[in-house]
Structure 1
Amino acid sequence: MEIRTATAEDWPSIYPFYAATMAEGRTYAFPPGQSLAEARPWWMEQPPGRTVVAVLDGEVVGSAKMGPNRPGPGSHIGTASFLVDPAHRGRGIGRALGVHVIDWHREQGFHGIQFNAVVEVNEPAVHLWRSLGFEVLGTVPEAFAHPDHGLVGLHLMYQRL
């Protein structure tokens, strides 16, 4: 699998699994039903951020976006978001993207990485981030309306670099 910087030409390949993930309503509080053009600025980061794609056998199967969590005095803490094509989940793509994001943040001199809103019932994500060294600092109760579980918490997760 190759992980590389996403180009404008990659967006049409990312969009179908972006749209599918948002339509599921289980992991992101992003607006569902966005068009290709409406969704683009929600995922394709501008500098100093970065968006990458995971490519397997010539097919874009995942993506991550990363950069400073806050501007100015908070810019030394990074953040990131991840998408894996539902047809390719469970194949280590999320883990590979997570390792890439951690390495990138270290190379860029960030002091830590903060995930602002990990849905507490998203067990695969919570397990993955814990296995990569993140800890849950706190949980905002009932902050996410999950289609199967009702109101559930959002974890604030952190890793010091």
Structure 2
Amino acid sequence: MEIRKATKADHEAIWAITKQVIASCESFVFAPDTSRERMLAFWCNRKKHVFVALVNERVVGTFYISDNQPGLGAHVANAGYMTDPSFEGKGVGSEMGLFSLEEARRLGYKSMQFNIVLKSNERAVKLWQRLGFKIVGEVPDVFNHPTKGLINSYIMWQKL
């Protein structure tokens, strides 16, 4: 697997992945009908370091690293990850996670924090714990799932 900085040429592949992931309503707060323009404006904005993961030159995952907060909170990284559903369970998330932790260190961040990891997304919770993240908080009823109702989320954190 290759991981590299995303370019504008990757936007269609990023959109193809994000469209599938948000349609599932299992991991991101974006509504399933979020437009391509809105999603790419969020994911690929100039304040983020955006990457793609490739297998045989095909984009199979994407992630970004950004400041979790501005100003005096800018030493804490935040990140978001999406994997092509047809590549789930094949190590793409693990590789992106490991790469992002090293890249965040290289960029000078002191820790990384995820503000909303759905409690129901057990696969992601286990992945982040395996990569050294700790659950430091739980927020009740933060995600309004279309069929499961209100779901809690975790705040997960790791010192870099």
- Amino acid aligned to 1:87: S
Give the aligned residue type for 2:71: G
Cα shift at 1:148: 4.6
Query: 1:116-150: CA deviations, max 9, x gaps?
Result: 00000101100000000000001001111224532
Aligned position for 1:106: 105
**Alignment partner, residue 145 of structure 2:** 146
| Partner in structure 1 of residue 27 of structure 2 | 27
Distance in 1 (CA, whole Å) between partners of 2:50 and 2:57 is: 18
RMSD: 1.1
Q: Is the 8 A contact 1:136 1:156 kept in 2?
A: yes
Task: Give the corresponding residue for 2:136.
Answer: 137
Alignment-derived partner of residue 45 in structure 1? 45
Task: Name structure 1 gaps, 5 residues minimum.
Answer: none
Match of 2:36 in 1: 36
SS of 1:103's partner is: helix
1:14 aligns with 2:14: yes
Letter in 2 for 1:133: G
1:85 aligns with 2:84: yes
Partners of 1:78 and 1:113 within 8 A in 2: yes
Q: Distance in 1 between matches of 2:146 and 2:94?
A: 25
**Which residue is equivalent to 1:56?**
55
Asked if structure 2 preserves the Cα contact closer than 8 Å seen for 1:45 and 1:66, the reply is: no
Identity of paired residues, percent?
35
Tell me the TM-score normalized by structure 1. 0.95
Is structure 2 residue 9 aligned with structure 1 residue 5?
Answer: no
Cα distance in 1 between the residues matched to 2:49 and 2:9: 15
Counterpart position of 2:154: 155
Q: Which residue identity lines up with residue 15 of structure 1 in the other structure?
A: W
Q: 1:142, 1:104 → 2: CA distance?
A: 32
1:34 alignment partner, SS class? coil
SS in 1 for 2:80: strand
For the Cα contact (< 8 Å) 1:77–1:111, is it kept in 2? Answer: yes
TM-score of the superposed pair, with normalisation by structure 2: 0.96
The ranges of structure 1 where at least 4 consecutive aligned residues each deviate by more than 6 angstroms after the TM superposition are none
Q: Is the 8 A contact 1:54 1:93 kept in 2?
A: yes
Number of residue-to-residue matches in the alignment: 160
2:135 touches 2:155 (CA, 8 Å); kept in 1?
A: yes
Structure 2 unaligned runs (5+)?
Answer: none
1:7 aligned partner, one-letter code: T
